[in-house]
């Protein structure tokens, strides 16, 4: 895990109420860079998400790590994407394959408060990133 994610995790765990965590997710959503309109295309959409989510996963050959770029049309999902990006960006393929995003969201105290469709969306994003890592490793 990156140091940035470890700091984010400590910050989230310290927040005891769902309202405080929700507010923090919304603020994080504002920090997520916007995807240019020309990249918001159907083939980049993640199936299984309640909101529109456009996801791009790449492998940086020079740095030997995964780079996730994503956006959504809702602020709460943007915040959740920011958390996922912070967790996985900069990790190697092997590190990505060992990460369980669902477990991390549980430890942050988030999954139990999300609607089932939002939880499914998190799993769909996680699966897409993991599948990319597996395919890159082959």
For the annotated catalytic residues, the residue numbers are 49
The pairs formed by 105-109 with CB atoms below 8 angstroms and a separation of 24 or more are 107/9, 107/13, 108/9, 108/12, 108/13, 108/21, 108/83, 109/12, 109/13, 109/18, 109/21
Q: With residue 19 as reference, give the H or E element that holds it.
A: helix 18-31
């Amino acid at each position: 895990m990156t140091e940035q994610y470890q700091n984010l995790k400590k910050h989230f765990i310290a927040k005891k109420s769902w309202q405080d965590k929700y507010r923090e997710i919304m603020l994080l959503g504002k920090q997520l860079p916007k995807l240019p309109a020309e990249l918001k295309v159907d083939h980049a959409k993640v199936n299984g998400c309640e909101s529109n989510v456009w996801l791009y996963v790449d492998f940086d050959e020079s740095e030997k790590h995964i780079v996730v770029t994503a956006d959504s049309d809702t602020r709460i999902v943007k915040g959740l994407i920011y958390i996922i990006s912070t967790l996985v960006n900069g990790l190697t393929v092997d590190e990505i394959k060992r990460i369980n995003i669902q477990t991390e969201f549980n430890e942050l105290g988030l999954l139990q408060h999300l609607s089932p469709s939002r939880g499914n969306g998190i799993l769909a994003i996680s699966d897409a990133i993991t599948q990319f890592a597996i395919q890159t490793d082959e």
